Amino acid sequence: MTKIVILTGAGISAESGLETFRASDGLWAQHRVEDVATPEGFARNPKLVVDFYNARRAQAAEVSPNAAHRALARLEAELDGEVVVITQNVDDLHEQGGSRQVMHMHGALKGALCAACDHRWPAPMVMAPGDACPACNAPAARPDIVWFGEMPYQMDALFDHLVEADVFAAIGISGNVYPAAGFVAEARRAGAHTIEFNLERSAVGNQFAEHRIGPASQTVPEWVAEVLAARR
Ligand code: BV8
């Protein structure tokens, strides 16, 4: 049975209107990553960090999935095999687009986490520093986001999927952030065919066997149609 593992990054949500990280007008252009996406930044200025994620949560609530998200959901629904989406993104556009097996390795804007007892609950649209945890009541609520220096989620399960992949596709990632950027090497080692979808080659582009250059809303639906036709 065919198993396709797909890693997505900010580039798949760009055409839905969400800023990427490294575009010149991207998120990091307006903020220093050390200030808004590290535990140290959160400890130093929790309001700056919580407001950064409040703004992104509000922005994410305004946008819709694009044809690339919908194509991946079609692939999962129609392929005689298994499709796993591993996303670096913290928006829920894959779920809105219809994908069911989605792994948020860097957390999710819709999640809140208690820094004191590890309890998780659906985040309110607007979080404030010192919000109480509904389980232990400590004033220790934080966005359920994996910051730089923190361990990404579900790493063991992710690697189990990678080593079983027949095809590994990366869509809209710059290949700058590890361990996600290292997944292509793992998949290749396990014998997967590797494809990169991007506007240009990523920092790990030379590790992919195949490249589909262009906007994901065009290249991904084309690829999905080919994959499904080939297996009919
Ligand atoms: C960890 C949540 C330690 C926050 C994020 C090894 C070598 C070097 C450094 C490290 C290393 N190992 C660890 C590190 C440190 C660090 C790291 O990699 N630093 C980099 C900057 C050098 N990594 C970590 O800290 C990670 N933690 O490794 O734990 C550890 C290890 C073992 C045991 C214990 C602890 C945690 C990293 C997670 C940080 N959190 N996100 C938030 O969202 O606010 S990272 C964030 O940036 C994203 O989640 C994503 O992962 C990352 C990069 O963003 P991309 O998605 O790639 O987006 P970007 O804008 O960069 O690129 C967009 C791409 O799309 C471009 O290529 C563009 O061309 C393309 N595109 C644009 N439009 C389109 C398109 N493509 C197609 N169609 C379009 N229309």
**Whole-structure pTM value:** 0.96
SS3 108: strand
The rounded Cα 195 to chain-centroid distance in angstroms is 17
- The residues with which 112 forms a beta bridge, in sequence order, are 121, 143
Task: Tell me phi and psi for residue 81, to 5 degrees.
Answer: 175, -160
Q: pLDDT tens digit string along 13-71? A: 999 999 888 777 777 678 888 899 999 999 999 999 999 999 999 999 999 999 999 99
Q: pLDDT tens digit string along 103-158? A: 999 999 999 999 999 999 999 999 999 999 999 999 999 999 999 999 999 999 99
Q: Which of 90, 108, 99, 29 is nearest to 66 (CA)?
A: 99
- The residues with which 125 forms a beta bridge, in sequence order, are none
| Mean pLDDT within 160-187 | 98
- Residue count of the chain, please give it: 232
Contact 105, 6 (CB under 8 A): no
Does residue 232 surpass a pLDDT of 80?
no
Q: Tell me if 13 CB under 6 Å of ligand 1.
A: no
| Mean pLDDT within 76-99 | 98
Does residue 12 surpass a pLDDT of 80?
yes
**Relative to the CA of 52, which ligand 1 atom is closest?**
44
Catalytic residues: 106
Q: Tell me if 15 CB under 6 Å of ligand 1.
A: yes
Residue where the block lists tokens 């760009």? 14
In terms of Cβ atoms closer than 10 Å to its own Cβ (0-12, 13-18, 19+), residue 190 is middle
Asked whether the CA dihedral 222, 227, 228, 232 is positive or negative, the reply is positive
SS3 170: strand
Q: Tell me if 67 CB under 6 Å of ligand 1.
A: no
Neighbours of 179 (CB within 10 A): 13
What span, in angstroms and rounded, lies between the C-alpha atoms of 226 and 40? 46
